[in-house]
Amino acid sequence: MLAVETRNLTKDYDIKKDGKRAHLRAVDGLDLAIEKSEIYCLLGPNGSGKTTTTRLLAGILRPSVGGARILGLDVVEDASQVRSIVGLLTETPALYERLTVRQNLTFIANLYDVPKEEIKTRIEELINLFDLPEKIDLPAGSLSKGMRQKVAIARSMIHDPPVIFLDEPTASLAPESAKVVRDQILKLSKLEKRTFFLCTHNLFEAERLSTRVGIINHGKLISEGTPTQLRDLKKDETTTVFRFAVWDDVIKNFFQERNYDVLDINPERKSISIFIREIEKETPTIIDELIKQNFPMFEVRHEYPTLERVYLELVMSENLPRNQEEEES
C-alpha cells in the first residue's frame, strides 16, 4: 500500500478578478505515488501550489477534481481518519503563547485522543528528539522563533502519525537547529519507517534529505525523481578542474592542442576548467599524460551540476502562458 497516492489531484480557489467571480487553479492534475518511509520533497517557487497540495493531502481542504489516498484512506470520504493518521506542520504554525511548551503539547495530545497514560512519555520522547531544552516549562511566547518552530514540529508528531507533512519546516531555523530537525527526519524515516512529505525552498535540504524530489510550477508537476536522477538531467554540463602547484602557459597549450573545450583559465588560482565528453574514459588518460609531462598537478575535480542548477533551469524555462484563471459565466 502506498503512503500517498493522488490521481489528477486538482484544486480551484474562488477568487475575484476585476470585480468578477473567477477561479484560480492552484493545483493542477497531480499524480503522485509515494512509498512508505520515503522522504518526498516538493520543490517549487512561491505560489506554485505546495501549501495547497499539503492541505489537500492532510484532509483539511477538499479537492475540486481528482482525489488522494493516504495509506489507503480517501482524503474526502475518510477525512477524519486521515487527519488522525497524518501529522501536519502548517506554513505559519501558532502555539498558545501563554501556555508552557509542555501544556501546548499536552493540549494537542488530548485533542488527538492520545491515551492519558502515554502523554507524558510521548512528550518526553519528543523533547529529547528535537533537542528542546529545559525551557519546556516556560510559556511558549517567551521562546525564540526557532525554538517555537521546533515545538511546532514536535507537536505535529504528538499522536505518533505514520505520515507526516511538513510545510517549510526549517525556513525559520538557524543552521544548527535545522540540522537537528533534518537528522531526526532521517532517523524517523529509516528506523520507524515513517513517511515524510516536505515542502521546501531549500535545495540543499532537498538534496540531503529526500528519497525523491517533485518539482511543481503553476500547480503542475514538471519533474520528479531522486536527487541524482534530477542532477543527471544536466550531467553533460559537468566540468573538470585541474589545479597546479605552479602555473605555466604550456599547461594551457597542452589542453588546447588536444582540442578540449577550455571553459576557464585562472593563472592566479593556477587552474584550468575544461569540458570532457566522456569523463570516466578520458579523465585517467589526461591525468596520465599530465604526469608524464611533469606538470605539477595537485588537484583534479569534477564539478557536477547541482540540484539548484537543474531546478532553476526547469522552473525558469517554464514560460507557460498563465491560462489557469478562467472566468465563470
User: Is 184 a residue that touches ligand ADP (CB under 6 A)?
Assistant: no
Instruction: Indicate which single residue of 6, 10, 52, 223 sits in contact with ligand ADP (rule: CB under 6 A).
Output: 52
What single letter denotes the amino acid at residue 321? P
- Specify the residue, 47 or 284, whose C-beta has the smaller distance to ligand ADP: 47
Q: To the nearest whole angstrom, how small is the minimum distance from the Cβ of residue 45 to Mg ion?
A: 10
Q: Does the protein bind ligand ADP through residue 218 (CB under 6 A)?
A: no
Q: Please provide residue 171's backbone torsions phi and psi, each rounded to the nearest 5 degrees.
A: -55, -35
CA dist 101 and 138 (Å) reads 6
Q: Counting contacts by CB under 5 A, is residue 217 touching Mg ion?
A: no
Q: Assess 102 for contact with ligand ADP (CB under 6 A).
A: no
Does position 13 bind ligand ADP by CB under 6 A?
A: yes
The answer to whether the beta carbons of residues 240 and 283 sit under 8 Å apart is yes
51 binds Mg ion (CB under 5 A): yes
Give yes or no for a contact between 32 and 221, defined as CB atoms under 8 angstroms apart: yes
Only segment of 49-57, 101-109, 178-186, 239-247 that touches ligand ADP (CB under 6 A): 49-57
Report the residue number, 79 or 171, with the smaller CB distance to ligand ADP. Answer: 171
Q: Which of 34, 38, 40, 48 binds ligand ADP (CB under 6 A)?
A: 48
Q: Which is nearer to ligand ADP, 9 or 105 (CB)?
A: 9
Cell numbers for 17, please give them.
Answer: 478578478
Contact status: 47 vs ligand ADP (CB under 6 A): yes
Residue with smaller CB distance to ligand ADP, 49 or 59: 49
**Among ligand ADP, Mg ion, none, what does residue 15 contact (CB within 5–8 Å per kind)?**
ligand ADP
Using CB under 6 A, which of the segments 43-51, 66-74, 158-166, 271-279 binds ligand ADP?
Answer: 43-51
State how far the Cα of 287 lies from the Cα of 253, in Å rounded to an integer.
15
* Residue 263 in contact with ligand ADP, rule: CB under 6 A: no
CB of 196 to Mg ion, least distance (A): 16
- Total binding residues toward ligand ADP, as defined by CB under 6 A: 12
24 lies in the site for ligand ADP, by CB under 6 A = yes
Query: What is the rounded CA–CA span in Å between residue 192 and residue 158?
Result: 15
Is 49 a binder of ligand ADP (CB under 6 A)?
A: yes
| Contact string (CB under 5 A) for Mg ion, positions 86-125, x = contact | -----x----------------------------------
Q: Binding residues for Mg ion, how many (CB under 5 A)?
A: 3
Per CB under 6 A, 44 contacts ligand ADP: yes
Cα separation, 236 vs 306, in Å, equals 12
From 50-58, 113-121, 157-165, 292-300, give the range in contact with ligand ADP by CB under 6 A: 50-58
Residues that bind ligand ADP (CB under 6 A): 13, 15, 24, 26, 44, 46-52
Residues that bind Mg ion (CB under 5 A): 50-51, 91
